Each structure stands twice: as structure tokens, then as C-alpha cells.
Structure 1
Amino acid sequence: MGIDLKAGGRRTGHKSSMKVVKTKNPYNRLLIKLYKFLSRRTDSKFCATVLKRLHMSKLNKPPIGLNRLSKYMTNKDGKTAVIVGKVTDDVRMLECPKMSVCALGFTESARKRIVAAGGECLTFDQLALKAPKGTNTVLLRGPKSRSALAHFGHSTSVTNPHTHDGVKPYVRSEGRKFEKARGRRRSKGFKV
């Protein structure tokens, strides 16, 4: 039995992962409603991006430290840093510069340092009133730091031996007996 293509039997593209809100957090659910409305009623890419990031899992909303945040916000006076995630304190940084930051959450010490420097800590609903289309904002993300990410990407192959892309192989152990056969040493046929 074949596929009836005229009746829409074969679907193209991928399903949107944003159909159902999975979070139980009422504040996040309200934010999703707000930014869904804003992205629908404005032609702003900023609102659509924030909406997409609000739907993401906690793993994909990594925190950002104050030091990294201040580095990204140098020479961006009058702009608001927007992070769909948490802002954490960095004790290695001695002085916190004055900056306006909007985030899902702040650690207590990070909030104190930003306010003490003369900056402001905004929530996303305050940002929606201040800049509904995302004008004068800088959308930032924290670094993902999972050990599994070292193994993602393109692995090396026999056809194109120079495509390493920094992919770490899953090796049981480092040593003479582990992954030292063909493709690993020149004396065993070829070297990748």
C-alpha cells in the first residue's frame, strides 16, 4: 500500500516544539502568553526569539555570569541586556559597571551588585512595557557547559580525514590497547 500524496500523506518540514507549554511555573506561562501576543501583533524578530527561548528547557536556558555580561555590554551605553535565563554573580570581578539587565531571574548577590552600581534589574513584563519591539536591547545567552557537548558534531572519516571539528571520541580508556588500530596509526594502513 502506498502513500496518498494528494491527501497530504507525506508531511514536509518539522513540527514546532512550541505547541504546548510544558512549564508549571505560572510566571513563565504568563510571559509566554505575553510574548506570543507581542510576536503575533508586531513584526519584531526580537519578540519571536524571546518567545522561542521561553519555551526552551532549563538545559537550553543556561545562566550567564556578571563578568561575561559586563564584557558583552562594553560600549553599549543606554542599551538593555536581555537574557532568557538567570544572571549569576562572579566574585572574580571586582567592580560591576552600571548596566540595565532584563532576565528571568537574578541571584541575590548579582542583583545587589547591579543595583549598587546604579544599574537596574528588569523583569520581562517590565521590558514589554519599556521596549515592546525590543528597541535598544542586546539579546544574550550564557554558555552551555555540558560534558556531552564535547562529543557532538562531525566525526572524522576515511574519505575526508581532515574534518576533525574538535569532536571528542567516546573512548573507554587512553592507552596502548584502546583505539590504536586501523585509522589511528600510520603503521596500520592509514591515519585519520
Structure 2
Amino acid sequence: MKNNYKTNGRLLDLISGLKEQSRNKQVPLWRDIAIRLERPTREATEVNLSRINRYTKEKDLILVPGKVLGAGELNHQLTVAAVSFSEGARNKIIEAGGSCLSIEELMNKNPEGSRVRIIG
């Protein structure tokens, strides 16, 4: 019989950290992301760079509650935080002058979650 719960320790730690940060700082953004990450794996978010490029502008701070994929081009500098990145996506973001962060790093740098846009 198949288990109906997550077994990825890193993801479980991230979800509990997001919930704790939400309670401590009274920031609903982190709770929203935790709820999105608790969804079943078949509903996991995957976002291509072309979509990120289409809906963002220079120097935006983007949060993807899932994986960033490398299909498409990126024409401007962004800071992107996600659970994971494909190798192609990471290279294209860095080549465009942007940076890639884990959600934990973003949560530590920006505990209030200000100016964060969610895509996905």
C-alpha cells in the first residue's frame, strides 16, 4: 500500500520552518507557501523561464513554490527563490545577471516577505 505523506526530509523541514516563521513574524506569505508545498507531488509546481520572463520586470524578487525549468530565455536581472532549479535554468538566470536562492535563504534574508512575487 502506498504512503499518503511526504518522505523528503528536506521538504518536511522547509514546510515546518515556513509555518514557524509565519507564526513568529505574523507573515501569511510563508504559511501560503507551506500549504502549497504540502500538496501531493502530482500537483507540484514547475515553472519555465519563459513564463517568469513574461510576467516580471527588472530586479524583481520571485518565489516559485516548486521547480524552475530552463525552457525559454530570460532578458532581465532577477532574484529567484525556489525549492529546486534545473541546471539550465540556474545557468540562464546567472547569465542574465540574476541570482538563485533556496526558499530557506529567502526566508532568512527577507523574514517579512516584502516585495516577493509568487509565480506558479
Both structures adopt the same fold (TM-score exceeding 0.5): yes
Answering whether residue 32 of structure 2 is matched by residue 53 of structure 1, we say no
Tell me, yes or no, if the aligned pair for 2:59 and 2:77 is still in contact at 8 Å.
no
Query: What is residue 137 of structure 1 aligned with on the other side?
Result: 116
Q: Give per-residue Cα distances to partners, 1:101-147, cap 9 Å, x unaligned.
A: 00111110110010111100000110111111211110111xxxxxx
Query: What is residue 86 of structure 1 aligned with on the other side?
Result: 67
| Distance in 2, Cα, partners of 1:96 & 1:109 | 15
| Distance in 2, Cα, partners of 1:56 & 1:26 | 15
Unpaired runs of 5+ residues, structure 2, are none
May I ask how many residue pairs the two structures share in their alignment? Answer: 117
Query: What is residue 109 of structure 1 aligned with on the other side?
Result: 88
Query: What is residue 16 of structure 2 aligned with on the other side?
Result: 33
Q: TM-score, normalised by structure 1?
A: 0.57
**Following TM superposition, where does structure 1 have runs of at least 4 consecutive aligned residues deviating by more than 6 angstroms?**
none
Coordinate RMSD, CA, aligned: 1.6
Sequence identity (%): 26
Q: Greater RCO between the two (CA within 8 Å, min separation 6)?
A: 2
Q: Cα offset for 1:55?
A: 0.8
Q: Which has the higher helix share?
A: 2
